[in-house]
Structure 1
Amino acid sequence: MKIKSINFTVLLLICFALFTQYTSMAQTITREQFRDSVQKLPYFSIHKDNYFVTGIPTNREINGSSADAKYQVSFKQIITRDKLPWDTYLFLTYTQKAFWNIYEDSFPFRDINFNPSLSLGKPIFNKNEELKGLAVAAFDHESNGRDSISSRSWNRITFSYVTRIFKHTTANFEFWVPFQYKEGNSDILEYTGLGEINIEHELKPDKLYFTLMVRKGLNFEANGTFRPRIYFNPFKKNRSNQYFMLEWYLGQAEGLLNYKESQSMIRIGYVIKTNEFSFFR
Structure 2
Amino acid sequence: MKKFSILLFIVFSLNAQEFDKLYKEAEKLELQGKYKEANKIYKEIIKKEKTINSIYIDEDKKSEITAMKDTIDEVDDKETNETIAQIIASKFDIYPHHENYFFPISYDTNKRSDGRDSLETKFQLSIKKPIIHDFFGFDETINFGYTQTSWWQLYKDSSPFRETNYKPEIFVTIPYGKKDKTSLKAFTFGFLHESNGQAEPKSRSWNRIYLESYFQVGNLFAVPRVWYRIPEEEKDDDNPDIEDYMGYGDFTLIYPYKKHTFKALFRNNLKFDEDNKGFVQFDWTFPFFNSKNTFGYLQLSSGYGDSLIDYDKEINRINFGISLSR
The answer to whether 1:225 aligns with 2:279 is yes
> Is this contact kept in 2: 1:28–1:130, CA < 8 A?
no
1:47 corresponds to: 97
Q: Tell me how far apart the structure 1 counterparts of residues 181 and 42 of structure 2 sit (CA, whole Å).
A: 15
Q: Map Cα deviations across residues 87-115 of structure 1 (whole Å, 9 max, x no partner).
A: 32211000001111111111111111000
* Corresponding residue of 2:207: 155
In structure 2, C-alpha distance between the alignment counterparts of 1:199 and 1:35, rounded to whole Å = 33
1:29 and 1:138 map into 2 onto residues whose CA distance is 32
- Cα distance, 1:105–1:34 mapped onto 2, change above 3 Å: farther
Question: Which sections of structure 2, spanning at least 5 residues, go unmatched?
Answer: 1-29, 47-55, 57-91
| Distance change >3 Å, CA 66–CA 28, structure 1 → 2 | farther
Higher helix share: 2
Match of 1:178 in 2: 229
Query: Structure 1 residue 144 and structure 2 residue 196: aligned?
Result: yes
1:129-278 aligned within 5 A: 132-164=184-216, 166-180=217-231, 183-204=237-258, 207-219=259-271, 220=273, 221-238=275-292, 240=293, 242-274=294-326
Amino acid at match of 1:51: Y
Question: Is the partner of 1:190 in helix, strand or coil?
Answer: helix
RMSD over equivalenced CA pairs, Å: 2.9
Extract unaligned runs of 5+ from structure 1. Answer: 1-26, 275-281
1:66-145 pair list within 5 angstroms: 66-126=118-178, 132-145=184-197
- Structure 1 residues 55-93: Cα deviation after superposition (integer angstroms, max 9, x where no partner): 2223448x9711111110000000013442443221100
Q: Do 1:190 and 1:223's aligned partners in 2 also have CA atoms closer than 8 Å?
A: yes
* SS at structure 2 position matched to 1:199: strand
Q: Indicate conservation of the 8 Å contact 1:177/1:194, yes or no.
A: yes
| Structure with the higher fraction of residues in strand conformation | 1
The answer as to whether partners of 1:48 and 1:74 remain within 8 angstroms in 2 is yes
- Larger relative contact order, structure 1 or 2 (CA cutoff 8 Å, min sep 6): 1
Which among 41, 46, 56 is matched to residue 107 of structure 2? 56
Q: Secondary structure at the match of 1:225?
A: strand
CA distance in 1, matches of 2:133, 2:320: 36
> What percentage of aligned pairs have identical amino acids?
26
Aligned equivalents of 1:150, 1:116: Cα separation in 2: 20
The alignment partner of 2:145 has SS state of: strand
With normalisation by structure 2, the TM-score equals: 0.67
With normalisation by structure 1, the TM-score equals 0.77
